[in-house]
Amino acid sequence: MPVLSLPTYDITIGSLALAHRQWLLERRYAGIVVLTDENTHRHCWPLLAPWLEGMPVQQIVVPAGEAHKHLDTCRRIWDELLAAGAGRRWCMLNLGGGVIGDMGGFCASTYKRGMDFVQLPTTLLSQVDASVGGKLGIDYGGVKNSIGVFREPNAVWIDPAFLDSLSHRELRSGFAEILKHALIADAGQWATLKALPDLSAVRWGELIPGSVAIKKEVVLADFYETGPRKALNFGHTIGHAVESYRLDGAQPLLHGEAIAAGMVAEAWLSHRLAGLPEAELEEIATTLTGYFGHEPVPEEALPELLALMRQDKKNEADEINITFLGRIGEAIVNGRATEAEIAEAIRFYNQLG
Amino acid sequence: MPVLSLPTYDITIGSLALAHRQWLLERRYAGIVVLTDENTHRHCWPLLAPWLEGMPVQQIVVPAGEAHKHLDTCRRIWDELLAAGAGRRWCMLNLGGGVIGDMGGFCASTYKRGMDFVQLPTTLLSQVDASVGGKLGIDYGGVKNSIGVFREPNAVWIDPAFLDSLSHRELRSGFAEILKHALIADAGQWATLKALPDLSAVRWGELIPGSVAIKKEVVLADFYETGPRKALNFGHTIGHAVESYRLDGAQPLLHGEAIAAGMVAEAWLSHRLAGLPEAELEEIATTLTGYFGHEPVPEEALPELLALMRQDKKNEADEINITFLGRIGEAIVNGRATEAEIAEAIRFYNQLG
């Protein structure tokens, strides 16, 4: 089983096994809390439960979905921890997608000033992205992830078996982050990914280790996101705004779907402002629209999208902070684009369809 | 002006001056938020304001008192930060006592996953104790400091001029922590302190540096409180319970007053269980009751006090975790006492009066 060692914890990629049980037993936790949402409680908990047999386990089950990634759900989690008598020598296992990992990690990091926690990501998106990097938090005041902390988990256990209950669309959403990792750091992996014949035939367990390794390298170089880590933001400045905008509409996009559109638009900006060759821009646009189809942004939505981008944590002044590609496999952080340039980039994406 | 350098920040002890203004200017913060309560806004803000002239300052004023150290006040602080458009490149100045420092530091540490903050403690208690050590948090679910994080500030500025508006009783409360620092780590300082002729004549600015230096040494040895840092807990297991118990009554005790009682009771346990010489126990009891008077605990309150102690974060099983003194100036952490022994210690204190 591939193991990626970070300075303070290990990421294992493979089936849950005796080694994971041993890890918990060796630490002699006074108690173990398993946090799930209603979906992962049904589909994923049965895969974890056998390995916890005989341990002092408490379960906390919260409603599923980003709409519940807020302070009221934290209160419920903290209340149940207090009611269970959980102390600092307990460990929380966060079994779920990005919402459970971000919110559960935040609750564990703040309960009695911090208890141990293990991330068990159950979606492809959280397996390749959210499980590494220590970004924890909740949505607050209408702003995504506006309250949170940076804190590393005590372990990350990625079991591809959790993916079996996911739809094609959810898997494809996670695949967008795999593509992004290749685009910012590994041209060879990009060449492999763009040539995949059929996503439904992909063995995800084989793609995950390389993708997580990229994320790990980038995060280790810059844990608190003062510089190089912003490479991971490629596609996300515009993509996040598209995601937020569509959230209120009749047909919301999954995170990866919005980021795919964002990557095309930001590749266009990279071509115009940072020297990405035109042939590579075309290759990126063709590949991404091939996998993800086309979701044009109505012209009248542009002001709202630009307003959303100005809210982003990473901005410093009037211009919007963007991560460019200098070429495929090479990111340039702290790029800047004007609002007019960003509008033009979205129009470029719009006319592809 | 004495400066204590910690690995990631400095503590200055002395009047606010041009150096503090320079510190802020050099960091080119996009904005500065000053958090005060209603009292420190009135009494302390006028001492800070001149040094911030011309800087982009926003003020947040919250109600004073431990009763407001809870999540609703955090929401108000976070809301005002969002409304002000505060970002990661802002800095929060926490101008107040322990409540403002703990809660403001927690809000700053969790806002957009962490913005810079400076602690400007304005009570003697927070100047010698709460301003060093990175313990941040709020009361939640009826449990003191049950939600919080460990995070170091970017600077601590201790100005004894802030003490001018404090009552004798408040100053004496902070003096209890100065006595504790001496008892756990510096017999020479203890000898000086027990011989002070009159607290109202003390020049606090002269006592603070030595006391903060002890706290700093202990914290640096064990930031996350897995071992030696528990030395600082001397007097606090019983003292905290006394404080909580009296909080609901007609005559609440200040923190230091409760801790003074706790130190006498825990000195008795140290004599019985850890070899503290009887003469030193008597010296401690005489000195502390001399400064703080006597606040006996009703016999019928003992069950409630013991229940409160069982709730403490530091406990691991049925026995209660106590920090002992082996002798004056030397702490022994991770001591244990039974509930019967603790009840007896409180009875020892009760019969002193």
| Three-state secondary structure string covering A74-117 | HHHHHHHHHHCCCCCCEEEEEEECHHHHHHHHHHHHHECCCCEE
- Domain B3-165 matching CATH 3.40.50.1970: the answer reads yes
Q: Do the chains contact at B149 and A78, CB–CB below 8 Å?
A: no
| For range B210-216, the mean pLDDT | 94
Nearest by Cα to B350 from B290, B285, B306: B285
Q: Is B112 on the interface with A (CB under 8 A)?
A: yes
CB neighbours of B287 closer than 8 A, spacing ≥ 6?
B179, B194
CB neighbours of A228 closer than 8 A, spacing ≥ 6?
A218, A221, A222, A333
The pLDDT, as a whole number, for residue B182 is 97
- The per-residue pLDDT of chain A, averaged, comes to 94
The string of pLDDT tens digits covering residues A180-193 is: 999 999 999 999 99
In chain B, the residue whose alpha carbon lies closest to the alpha carbon of A114 is B149
User: Residue B25 — pLDDT band, cuts 50, 70, 90?
Assistant: very high
Q: Do the chains contact at A87 and B313, CB–CB below 8 Å?
A: yes
The pLDDT, as a whole number, for residue B319 is 85
Q: Residue A337, SS3? A: strand
Q: Residue A139, SS3? A: strand
User: Residue A259 — pLDDT band, cuts 50, 70, 90?
Assistant: very high
Q: Where in chain B is the domain with CATH 3.40.50.1970?
A: 3-165
More confident residue, B197 or B38: B38
Q: Do the chains contact at A75 and B75, CB–CB below 8 Å?
A: no
More confident residue, B189 or B130: B189
Q: Do the chains contact at A136 and B113, CB–CB below 8 Å?
A: yes
Nearest by Cα to B120 from B4, B14, B7: B14
B346 is written with which tokens?
């409180």
| For range B174-202, the mean pLDDT | 95
The pLDDT, as a whole number, for residue B316 is 57
Q: Name the B residues in 141-180 with CB < 8 Å from any A CB.
A: 141, 143, 145-150
- CA B212, CA B5: separation in Å to the nearest integer? 11
Q: How far is B86 from chain A (nearest CA, A)?
A: 9
What share of chain B has pLDDT > 70, as a percent?
98
What b/e string do you get for B112-140 counting C-beta neighbours within 10 Å, with b at 16 or more?
bbbbbbbbbbbbbbbbbbbbbbbbbbbbb
Q: Do the chains contact at B88 and A137, CB–CB below 8 Å?
A: no
Query: Which chain A residues touch B316 with a CB distance below 8 Å?
Result: 30, 87, 89
A340 is written with which tokens?
């007019």
Give me the interface pTM, i.e. the ipTM: 0.90
Nearest by Cα to A311 from B78, B87, B91, B74: B87
Query: Which chain A residues touch B109 with a CB distance below 8 Å?
Result: 149
- Maximum mean pLDDT: which of B35-44, B236-245, B312-321: B35-44
Q: Is B27 on the interface with A (CB under 8 A)?
A: no
Max Cα distance, chain A (Å): 61
Asked if A162 contacts A47 with a C-beta cutoff of 8 angstroms, the reply is: yes
Q: Got the DSSP string for B147-203?
A: EEEE---SEEEE-GGGGGG--HHHHHHHHHHHHHHHHHH-HHHHHHHHT-S-GGG--
User: Residue A314 — pLDDT band, cuts 50, 70, 90?
Assistant: low
DSSP B111: B
Q: Is A70 on the interface with B (CB under 8 A)?
A: no
- CA B189, CA A154: separation in Å to the nearest integer? 41
| For range B191-206, the mean pLDDT | 92
Asked if B210 contacts B179 with a C-beta cutoff of 8 angstroms, the reply is: no
> Which of A112, A117, A313, A320 to mutate: most B Cβ within 10 Å?
A112
The pLDDT, as a whole number, for residue B313 is 55
The pLDDT, as a whole number, for residue A103 is 98
CB neighbours of B47 closer than 8 A, spacing ≥ 6?
B16, B159, B161, B162
- The per-residue pLDDT of chain B, averaged, comes to 94
Q: Is B109 on the interface with A (CB under 8 A)?
A: yes
The string of pLDDT tens digits covering residues B287-322 is: 999 999 999 999 999 999 999 898 765 555 568 999
Q: Do the chains contact at A146 and B82, CB–CB below 8 Å?
A: yes
In chain A, the residue whose alpha carbon lies closest to the alpha carbon of B74 is A147
Q: How far is A135 from chain B (nearest CA, A)?
A: 8
The pLDDT, as a whole number, for residue A88 is 84
Q: Kind and range of the H or E element at A186?
A: none
| For range B151-178, the mean pLDDT | 96
Q: Residue A23, SS3? A: helix
Look at residue A334 and tell me whether its pLDDT is greater than 70: yes
Nearest by Cα to B176 from B100, B288, B66: B288
Look at residue A268 and tell me whether its pLDDT is greater than 60: yes
Q: Do the chains contact at B146 and A88, CB–CB below 8 Å?
A: no
Can you give the C-alpha Rg of chain A in angstroms? 20
Query: How many CB pairs below 8 Å do chains A and B form together?
Result: 81
Active site residues of B: 113, 135, 177, 215, 225, 229, 233, 236, 240, 255
Q: Where in chain A is the domain with CATH 1.20.1090.10?
A: 168-350
Q: Do the chains contact at A113 and B149, CB–CB below 8 Å?
A: yes
For A80, phi and psi rounded to 5 degrees?
-70, -30
In chain A, the residue whose alpha carbon lies closest to the alpha carbon of B315 is A87
| For range B34-45, the mean pLDDT | 98
The pLDDT, as a whole number, for residue B70 is 96
Query: Which chain B residues touch A75 with a CB distance below 8 Å?
Result: 71
> Which of B89, B103, B107, B110 to mutate: most A Cβ within 10 Å?
B110
Query: Which chain A residues touch B79 with a CB distance below 8 Å?
Result: 141
Q: Is A233 on the interface with B (CB under 8 A)?
A: no
Look at residue A260 and tell me whether its pLDDT is greater than 80: yes
- Residue in B79, B89, B313 nearest the CB of A112: B313
The distance in angstroms from the start CA to the end CA of chain A is 42
The distance in angstroms from the start CA to the end CA of chain B is 42
Q: Residue B327, SS3? A: strand
The pLDDT, as a whole number, for residue B317 is 58
- Residue in A141, A149, A315 nearest the CB of B110: A149
Amino acid at A95: L
- CA B100, CA B119: separation in Å to the nearest integer? 9
Q: Do the chains contact at A315 and B87, CB–CB below 8 Å?
A: yes
**How many other CB atoms are there within 10 angstroms of residue A41's CB atom?**
19
| For range B161-183, the mean pLDDT | 96
The string of pLDDT tens digits covering residues A8-22 is: 899 999 999 999 999
**Full-prediction pTM beyond 0.80?**
yes
The pLDDT, as a whole number, for residue B230 is 93
CATH of B168-350 given 2.30.30.790, 3.40.50.970, 3.30.70.260, 1.20.1090.10: 1.20.1090.10
